[in-house]
Amino acid sequence: MNATLERWSTRRAFILAVTGAAVGLGNIWRFPYITGENGGAAFLVLYVAFVLLLGLPIMMAEILIGRAGRRSPVESLGHLAALAGASRHWRFLGLFGAFTVFCILSFYSVVSGWSIEFFVTAINGGFVGRDPAEIGAGFEAFLADPWRMVFNHTLFLFMTMTVVAAGVAKGLERLNNLLMPLLYLLLMLLAGYAATTDGFGTALAWLFRPDLAAITPMVVMHAMGHAFFTLAVGACALMAYGAYMPERQSLPHAAGAVALLDVGVALLAGIAIFSVVFSQGMDPGEGPGLMFVTLPIAFAELPWGALWLSTFFLLLLLATWTSSINLAEPMVATLQGRGLGRGRSATLVGVLVWLMGLLSALSFSTLSGWRPLFGMNAFDLVTTIPTEIFLPVGGLLIAVFSAWVMPRHEAQAALGVGESGFFLWRTVVRWVSIPLAALVLAAGLL
Ligand code: PFF
Ligand code: NA
């Protein structure tokens, strides 16, 4: 009886940790604005296809490597490569992942900082009685204020690195699990309210009736990057969690459950946000400010709006907190593997990410004229290149390693399925995921 209970709770703990990593800004902030910039339904169809054909199979690949290696990502890759008689250079894939999460965390912290500011504003009733134009102008003024941007970035990163240094992420995940249903409920409430607005029908048609002519190689590339980003796949961050996965747990079931939840959160957020967009005659391609402008407008019209809105930003903050802990973990684990203490590793990572994050925080004010590449400023670059190039490249290599390099019986045991299940997974990874990711990367880059 006890043993059963114990196993149940650890299985659950694993799903919680992965859900915590997956559900975050990607669902509620990034999904709506990227969908808005890329034509709506056409993008959505591609994104869901990539979640099924790439994200999910490669998520399993990534976790199974960690589970089979039972070490940090760098060491697991080196160990399994040695077992297979392959090059030890596969270890560098772990370092590449650490570099990818370094870039991602630098802007993730800045945008999560926006939620802190919005939470405080909402709790003080700052959005009550404001009309949409005022709310939009307020957001612009906030972005243009270097001090508030840096302050919130600093605060959020400090919150993240403190939890990482203390090693209490598990406690936070449990809290997250408790509150996740509440986030779901709030988004459902919001989507329900959206159904009563004028923009609802337009929003549904725009989200679910694809215009195939809107599909270009760049839209395909954006959709692939977003599938990796939202599932937290491609940076060896989930590989680190795989090392702690309990013996008897089906990896495909766990991964499938997380993906379903993740897409569900994104869809609810999308329905709510685009209903506001079309009710207010706003531009869906408004960019990274989309969620931060539309949701205060929507909540402002509900009874008890300030209460709902502050609750919403609090829950969002919690979701981004667990994601950023997962983003920091591979870097801290790598430094720790080199003999540095946990506290020092976390401090060093925190300082480096903070410095890098300044580029994003200031790119709406002090550094707005600095456009080092393709006419994009620092924020645009760091929100695009690591997500749309580094994650897919990392994911592709993870897939190759798991399906072509790793010894077969190791891979099958770590996937936790029978003969035919393994054959199905490996066939999909070998002949669908790998060629598809390579093709899209090639088409996007060339
Ligand atoms: N999946 C997270 C989100 O949707 O917000 C972001 C993320 C976490 C990306 C961890 C990559 C990663 F390794
Ligand atoms: Na996500």
Residue-wise pLDDT for 102-130, tens only, equals 999 999 999 999 999 999 999 998 888 88
Note whether 371 and 409 are within 8 A (CB): no
Average pLDDT score, the chain: 92
Taking the CA of 104 as reference, the closest ligand is 1
Residue 418: exposed, middle, or buried by beta-carbon count in 10 A (0-12, 13-18, 19+)? exposed
Query: How far is C-alpha 421 from the chain's CA centre?
Result: 28
Taking the CA of 24 as reference, the closest ligand is 1
The reported pLDDT for the residue numbered 444 is 85
What Å distances lie between residue 204 and 127, 210, 275, 302, 443, CA to CA?
A: 27, 11, 8, 21, 30
Euclidean distance between the first and final Cα of the chain, in Å?
Answer: 58
The reported pLDDT for the residue numbered 166 is 87
The fold of the 2-445 domain, in CATH, is Amino acid/polyamine transporter I (1.20.1740)
The radius of gyration of the chain from alpha carbons, rounded to an integer in Å, stands at 21
What Å distances lie between residue 297 and 91, 135, 285, 350, 430, CA to CA?
A: 48, 7, 17, 34, 47
Q: Domain extents for the chain?
A: 2-445
Cβ 104 under 6 angstroms from ligand 1: yes
Residue among 35, 156, 229, 387 whose CB has most ligand 1 atoms within 8 A, to mutate:
229
DSSP 8-state code for residue 6? H
Q: Ligand 1 centroid vs 170 CA: distance in angstroms?
A: 17
Contacts of 256 (CB under 8 A, 6+ apart): 56
- Asked if this assembly's ipTM is beyond 0.95, the reply is yes
Number of the ligand 1 atom closest to the C-alpha atom of 27? 4
Predicted TM-score (pTM) of the model is 0.95
Q: Ligand 1 centroid vs 207 CA: distance in angstroms?
A: 23
Residue among 51, 230, 258, 331 whose CB has most ligand 1 atoms within 8 A, to mutate:
230
Q: Whose CA is nearest to atom 11 of ligand 1?
A: 232
Helix residue spans in 51-145 (DSSP H):
56-69, 73-83, 91-123, 132-143
Below-50 pLDDT ranges, the chain: 1-8
The reported pLDDT for the residue numbered 302 is 78
